[in-house]
Amino acid sequence: MEQEFKTVFNGAETTVKLSSENVNAVLSFHDRPALKNPEEKIQKLLEDPIGCKKLVDMVKRCRHRRQGEVYKLQ
């Protein structure tokens, strides 16, 4: 049995046929609604990343003689 997939190649829509035994999975895209305030969302994610310590907990403040304040990751 074959599966057909439509794609755009060199600016033209084309159909690719593959044997079903050569297809392990099919990925598809879903439209997501736009964020109301993407800058705010990115800022929150940067401040408190998913699955990590908060950035303020990971950054250690130290002084450097010539460059003023420098931040280093622990």
- Ranges under pLDDT 50 in the chain: 62-66
pLDDT value at residue 5: 92
Chain centroid, CA 11 distance in Å: 26
> For the chain, give me the number of helices (H) and strands (E)?
2, 4
Q: How many domains does the chain have?
A: 1
pLDDT value at residue 73: 53
Whole-model pTM: value is 0.36
The closest alpha carbon to 55, from 44, 63, 41, 64, belongs to 44
pLDDT value at residue 56: 72
pLDDT value at residue 63: 42
pLDDT value at residue 71: 56
Beta strands in 1-74 (DSSP E): 2-9, 12-19, 59-64, 68-73
List the domain range (segments joined by +) for residue 11: 2-25+34-73
